[in-house]
Chain A
Amino acid sequence: MKNSSRRGFMGKAFGAVAGVGAIGSLYAMKKSWDPLPSVKAAGFTTLDMSAYAENELVTEKWRGKPIFVLKLTADMLKAMKSKKNDMDRLIKVDGSYYMVTIGLCTHLGCIPGYRPETEDFLCACHGGMYDASGDVTKAPPPRGLDIPPFKIDGTKLVLGEEGSEYKAMKENGITL
């Protein structure tokens, strides 16, 4: 600093101020692109689980995405008992077992269709298949249908909130 001219000092001072300003503006720009509070606040959906019929797929909506809700029959559960991974994917509410997943194929995001007679899902886009627990049975999907964050609240299920059951699923790698 001692040897630099006053002009050089002015240049450095301007550079420092402008640099701080540039970082500040970038931060503001980044934050302006964030989802709005109103968008985030609308990110919760409450489902009354007693209203669903067995082996009948209902598509709900959460954060603009389709949510598959499937109440499993006793026969389906019996068939699934041998597959631990499948059982872990189910959500138990008030004594009944439900499959609740985001209804978007984990391959490229198409919506798979449910076939009640074969009790599985088929994605028409690239032929991926899932069983009644949402676990993948035929590629190309890299993993089973994702499970949305949920919290069990009596006979209700709140989507968008992370309850202890959901956290356990996440830790065990059942869902992402």
Chain B
Amino acid sequence: MAHFTKATSVKDWFNQRLAVEKVEKVMMSEYWIPKNINFLWAMGMVLVITFALLLVSGIFLLMYYQPNVNTAFDSVNYTIMREVDFGWLWRHVHGVAASVVFLIIYIHMFTGIYYGSYKKGREMIWISGMLLFVAFSAEAFSGYMLPWGQMSYWAGMVITNLFAGGSLHADGLVEWIRGDYVPAQAFLTRFFMLHVLLIPLAIMGLIGLHFAALRIPHVNNQDGEEVDFDAEAKKYLAGDKAGSKVMRFANDFMAKDMMVVGIYLVFFFYLVFFHYGFAMDPVNFDPADGLKTPAHIYPEWYFLWSYEILRPFSTDIGLMAFAFAQVIFVLLPFLDRSPNTVPASRRGLFQIWFWAMLVDMIVLTAMGKLPPAGIFSTIGLVAALTFIGLWIALPFITKMEKKA
């Protein structure tokens, strides 16, 4: 229907060409969200806002950062921090957001696990979400290389060494990834490219997929109830807003969503202005030196749990356990054999599984930070074995689960 009439207003002009009213309905006013939800359903929007903060602060850092092994350290610690007006603000926003984004991702993930939001048509939401987690991990790691401090260098050394595959000794692969025998200029420039272009592109694509995966099954609710969205939407549009089980995405849901975002941003900027230190490792304020290892090499807090799964074992078994931990969450929708989509609290053994997994990951995180000696290394080993054991047990305990 390519028949255009003289526009009656600016809106009509756009409407004829871009169907803005239709788009607004599909994306916002007639995109239906169940009412039976709580503040944990706002984490998606919190993540969108955090990603926006990372993008904007990153653009400003990019204007002064120099991806050169001789100048990178000073371009961050001198130029951006001391010379550029408000350069410190962009750096601290970027560093704090990079850390906090993982906290929110973990909350978002465990919310999904608790309410069974990865089942009955919602598998692709979960899988695309886990791919986003992988992409964010790669983004965090590549970004950590850029200030070219001691921790950047040695984290780069240790993590790329993982690709040698232990006894496989694929040193050629490691040298190929680095473009050199050790992390050097080629390594820094290619990780710079990955951090500012390729991985962000992948992240944006995956966010699109994540949202698209949500359209057909819709958002889950607190009881895992199967809502007839068409019928409830009709009820809402007919005027029975109170009786309908759904509400509009905008502005109904967004109003509360943005209130949670508001509270989050107060917390976020409190960290940026008064407590940014946790996101800035003091060791990384020494320039990279390939002939001096820092006394302790440990990852940022959000990688500690998987690092602790690697650490208590011998090289090869450790690598296998680590690889297991990296991929196993993706398979959750298929390892959970129960047809029940209800909160964990109504699923018997699965409730115990959920809390055991959460506590185990917190223990792994804590042990990953402590030196691997004495009682800590024993606790770490037990927690790592528990992690693997819980995943092996999952199909069996969910299989036994009674139909709710």
Contact = CB atoms under 8 A, between A and B. Distances in A.
Contact of A125 (B182, B190, B291, B297): B297
B315 A35 contact: no
A59 interface: yes
Which DSSP category, helix, strand, loop or mixed, fits chain B's interface? loop
Interface string B343-387: 000000000000000000000000000001100000000000000
B186 A36 contact: yes
B182 A65 contact: yes
A35 B181 CA distance: 8
Nearest to B185: A39
A34 interface: yes
Contacts of A39: 179-181, 184, 186
Contact of B314 (A33, A110, A124, A142): A142
B315 A107 contact: yes
A33 B179 contact: yes
Interface residues of A, number: 25
Interface residues of B, number: 28
Contacts of A140: 314
Given A110-B297, A125-B293, A64 B314 contact: no
A43 B184 CA distance: 13
A12 interface: no
Contacts, number: 65
A153 B295 CA distance: 37
A91 B182 CA distance: 25
B25 interface: no
A35 B186 contact: yes
A33 B315 contact: no
A109 B181 contact: no
Interface string A74-118: 000000000000000000000000000000000111110000000
Interface in B152-200: 154, 157-158, 161, 167, 169, 175-182, 184, 186, 190
Contacts of B373: 127
A138 interface: no
A109 B161 contact: yes
A108 B181 contact: no
9 contacts: A30-B176, A33-B176, A33-B190, A39-B179, A64-B184, A108-B161, A109-B154, A125-B296, A142-B315
